[in-house]
Structure 1
Amino acid sequence: MTAPSTAPAPPSRGGRWIQQWDPEDETFWKETGEKVAKRNLLFSVLSEHIGFSIWTMWSVLVLFMGPEYGLTPADKFLLTSMVTLVGAVVRVPYTFAVAIFGGRNWTIISASLLLVPTVAAFAVMKPGTSFNTFLLVGLLAGIGGGNFASSMTNINAFFPLRKKGWALGLNAGGGNIGVPVIQLIALAIIGASGGPRVLLGIYIPLILVAAVLSSLFMDNIENVKNDTGAAKDAARDGHTWIMSFLYIGTFGSFIGYSFAFGQVLQNQFGRTPLEAAYVTFIGPLLGSLIRPVGGALADKYGGAKITLWNYVGMGAATAVLIAASMEKSLGLFTVAFVVLFVLSGLGNGSTFKMIPGIFHTKALGKGLEGEEAAAYGRRLSGASMGLIGAVGALGGVGINLAFRQSFLSYGSGTGAFVAFLAFYAACFGVTWAVYLRRTAVQGQASTAAEAKPQLSYAEV
């Protein structure tokens, strides 16, 4: 089977449908597939990047909202919690959207939709606006969180299994970096004594650029379209929900802390908006940049192993945060928080690399081979990514609500950090028990065929 006969190169412009796509075929990949896949990856990253910026814009808009806005710290944490919640929920339909509309087509639509929350925020962002109005407009920004799910589902179909850790890590990392970018822009605007509408005005033309470039340079894959049943099959698989739990610990931490970091610095350590903004972007920036490294390490050593030890590091960093919080040590607190961001980004890459490996392993366990096994893995892993991404983002909701309650009850974030430490310990236990624990004890009661897929998960 040769590349020209099985998968003719799609047009570089116009977004026509690719009728056949086989990235596991090395000849096809070298001659045609790699170039096309990387082009789609580039413009997918751009759209997802802006989506993340719009989703998390309220993490910086609240820094502009001084006493004249009449909002309490609890109001602001509730606002960012609800924005995070919508971003998590819309990831489910956004996953289906790729199968219904095609990856390129949905990228154009989803990028264009970002104009709605941006223009709405531009209209209401002023003192005197009611909290309920801010909350309603903030909820609209949640649609930016959906871009991640559709982007990851789409890019998963373009790359071979051996490249997925790198490709998915780069796609997600490029999207995640939208968080620190909007925070950096906000820092510059605050430093220049500009208002929040300046920030929003910068993003409106960028959204239009992303939509136009997606239209010009991306492609749809025919065999990804019209497979909405894959999401139902993925939802029935226990591994989808196990990985969702683990992704709460990594991505839930990343997005939750991204929304909350600046507010914690203001409320617990008395930082001004400008002082908070000087620090807020560092953690999300490093966490975004290291995500592809987590994927690459998972490609080399196995995602389960990297994820396991990453949770050890996250637990240690959280323990330091608890100590720093109790001692009111701003320097130690800031360093430990940034380290926690880095580890959450690393874990984002390793957990998402596990997903295609798990479903490919299941395919092999069913007796499938070659392209049939690869197709099974692509189908279920692509569908499960949206569900896993949605549940994982709910962790961000939990983090902001935990901070809100902790500040209401204790006047600091210490109580929330204790809860996070317990959760990371649970994630460590699940990763070890499901994907790395030896089955020697069960070996006498299980056949070799049954044991082999379980043991092979250590390499996913």
Structure 2
Amino acid sequence: MTAPAPTSRSRWIQEWDPEDETFWKNTGEKVARRNLYFSVLSEHIGFSIWTLWSVLVLFMGPEYGLTPADKFLLTSMVTLVGAVVRVPYTFAVAIFGGRNWTIISAGLLLVPTVAAFAVMKPGTSFDTFLWIGLLAGIGGGNFASSMTNINAFFPLRKKGWALGLNAGGGNVGVAAIQLVALAVIGANGGPRVLLGIYIPLIVVAAVCAALFMDNIENVKNDTGAAVDAAKDPHTWIMSFLYIGTFGSFIGYSFAFGQVLTNQFGRTPLQATYLTFMGPLLGSLIRPVGGWLADRYGGSKITLYNYVGMAAATAVLVAASMQKSLPLFVVAFVVLFALAGVGNGSTFKMIPGIFHTKALAEGLEGEEAVKYGRRLSGASMGLIGAVGALGGVGINLAFRQSFLSYGSGTGAFVAFLVFYGLCFAVTWAVYLRRPAARDRSAAATEAKAQLSYAEV
């Protein structure tokens, strides 16, 4: 089976069956990889714009008149918008097509970037900064539409790697904008220089999506899939677990620099030298988390990963109390890396869970594959949205911790407790063996439980 090539006019693919090995080898893999690479580019720029204000607040010295609490509130609200818009962005792929929405969503990034360029100067009111910052939240939505789109292109056996690479390449946008900011600050440039660099990059991403990406016909007009996914309890269980991984990644990305400047007295330049390492490593290692999940099972990797995240957080509590900057930075970077692994493993679990449910309901072959692909693609946007809310919680927790105690120690204790809850949920839902009170029922449940352990 070979899919007809998309026309240059519309770039719509009418037939797409990546689970057919002949089709995948002859046609599918090449097309899927091309769409993956340009999806990564657009999502990468989206993440950069979403986390733009985590860098801009470092430029905003005393002359801007903002307190540390103001800055944490600003970044919290930007994170919140990025989480909320992920829901409509999930529907957008089914309404407009993956390629078409990538063009639109990339082009929309010009709005917050140009607006920030216009207002970024001392004397601008906090309310103005807040409203302009909220616009940058739309960059967070690109993740949901991108993941939903790429999920449709790849077979189940390749999803862990593909989704990990797609998300990891996007996540690198966080580190990229921090590195660009480091170069700008080092050259004594201002925030408008940073914004001026990204405006043409946004145009490049939109044009590349128009020239090189495709729409898949059978993904369009299935907005009901998101409703069905929202009714499934696994969507919300995985959302909770994703708060622990991606919520940590994006929340710490926004907050790391501010913690260093407020708690350890680093200058913006000194802070930026350190802040990019965590997001960069967490982004690059995300595909490794997906690969490990493909090989050993996502639920197992996720479970052990939460143990590591809790341990790293315990070290952060000690470093914060001892005011040890070297130990603090090392532990924070390790926590970023573990969050990246967890991001990859949790997203690999999603298609496996829905495919397992399809088999449990008696579906077989292509029907089971279509069921799993439909619900997993729809649920990814919802899970991504709820997971991003964890970033809001992290920034608000830091804000309250600094207001109450003058340091981030209280917030880290709260995070440690939350990682323990994530560990317990992962074990209880996906890995716990059922009690054998009813032998026949227990055997059936054990079979289902074992299959979930392999997702």
Q: TM-score, normalised by structure 1?
A: 0.98
Equivalent residue letter for 1:129: T
* 1:10 matches 2:37: no
Residue matched to 2:144: 149
Alignment of 1:279-298 (within 5 A): 279-298=274-293
Contact in 2 for aligned 1:9/1:32 (Cα 8 Å)? no
Contact in 1 for aligned 2:436/2:442 (Cα 8 Å)? no
* 1:324 matches 2:319: yes
Structure 1: distance between partners of 2:421 and 2:247: 14
Q: SS of the residue aligned with 2:122?
A: coil
What is the CA distance between 1:15 and its match in structure 2? 4.6
Residue deviations 1:47-66, cap 9 Å, x none? Answer: 00000000000000000000
- Aligned counterpart in structure 2 of residue 118 of structure 1, from 104, 113, 120: 113
Equivalent residue letter for 1:9: A
Residue matched to 1:67: 62
Residue matched to 1:388: 383
- Aligned counterpart in structure 2 of residue 333 of structure 1, from 328, 333, 336: 328
* 1:271 matches 2:256: no
Structure 2: distance between partners of 1:67 and 1:226: 51
Residue deviations 1:178-204, cap 9 Å, x none? Answer: 000000000000011100000000000
Structure 2: distance between partners of 1:195 and 1:442: 68
Residue deviations 1:57-97, cap 9 Å, x none? Answer: 00000000000000000000000000000000000000000
* 1:416 matches 2:405: no
Contact in 2 for aligned 1:165/1:298 (Cα 8 Å)? yes
Contact in 2 for aligned 1:14/1:215 (Cα 8 Å)? no
Q: SS of the residue aligned with 1:177?
A: helix
Structure 1: distance between partners of 2:187 and 2:19: 51
Q: 327-336 or 434-443, which moves further after superposition? A: 434-443
* 1:171 matches 2:166: yes
Residue matched to 2:240: 245
Alignment of 1:156-305 (within 5 A): 156-305=151-300
Equivalent residue letter for 2:6: P
Residue deviations 1:11-45, cap 9 Å, x none? Answer: 5x545211111000000000000000000000000
Contact in 1 for aligned 2:433/2:446 (Cα 8 Å)? no
- Aligned counterpart in structure 1 of residue 350 of structure 2, from 355, 364, 382: 355
Equivalent residue letter for 1:358: I
Residue matched to 1:56: 51
Equivalent residue letter for 1:430: V
Residue matched to 1:373: 368
What is the CA distance between 1:441 and its match in structure 2? 2.7
Contact in 2 for aligned 1:23/1:29 (Cα 8 Å)? yes
- Superposed CA RMSD in Å reads 1.0
Equivalent residue letter for 2:360: G
What is the CA distance between 1:439 and its match in structure 2? 1.9
Structure 2: distance between partners of 1:215 and 1:14: 10
Equivalent residue letter for 2:277: I
How many residue pairs get aligned? The number is 455
Structure 2: distance between partners of 1:137 and 1:290: 32
Residue deviations 1:241-282, cap 9 Å, x none? Answer: 000000000000000000000000000000000000000000
Contact in 2 for aligned 1:439/1:455 (Cα 8 Å)? no
Residue matched to 2:85: 90
Structure 2: distance between partners of 1:113 and 1:77: 25
Contact in 2 for aligned 1:15/1:218 (Cα 8 Å)? no
Equivalent residue letter for 2:113: T
Residue matched to 1:77: 72
Structure 2: distance between partners of 1:211 and 1:224: 21
Q: Per the alignment, do residues 324 and 43 of structure 1 end up closer, same or farther by CA in structure 2, a change over 3 Å counting?
A: same
Q: SS of the residue aligned with 1:226?
A: coil
What is the CA distance between 1:448 and its match in structure 2? 4.2
Contact in 1 for aligned 2:38/2:212 (Cα 8 Å)? yes
Contact in 2 for aligned 1:43/1:214 (Cα 8 Å)? yes
Equivalent residue letter for 1:183: Q
Q: Per the alignment, do residues 415 and 444 of structure 1 end up closer, same or farther by CA in structure 2, a change over 3 Å counting?
A: same
- Aligned counterpart in structure 2 of residue 346 of structure 1, from 341, 346, 371: 341
What is the CA distance between 1:444 and its match in structure 2? 2.0
Q: Percent identity?
A: 86
Contact in 2 for aligned 1:15/1:217 (Cα 8 Å)? no
Residue matched to 2:134: 139
Alignment of 1:434-453 (within 5 A): 434-441=429-436, 444=439, 446=441, 448-453=443-448
Contact in 2 for aligned 1:186/1:199 (Cα 8 Å)? yes
Residue deviations 1:424-455, cap 9 Å, x none? Answer: 00000000000001124355261644542222
Structure 1: distance between partners of 2:116 and 2:201: 16
Equivalent residue letter for 2:5: A
Residue matched to 1:21: 16
Structure 2: distance between partners of 1:321 and 1:133: 35
Structure 1: distance between partners of 2:426 and 2:151: 23
Q: TM-score, normalised by structure 2?
A: 0.99
Contact in 1 for aligned 2:143/2:170 (Cα 8 Å)? yes
Q: SS of the residue aligned with 2:436?
A: coil
- Aligned counterpart in structure 2 of residue 105 of structure 1, from 96, 100, 104: 100
Residue matched to 1:310: 305
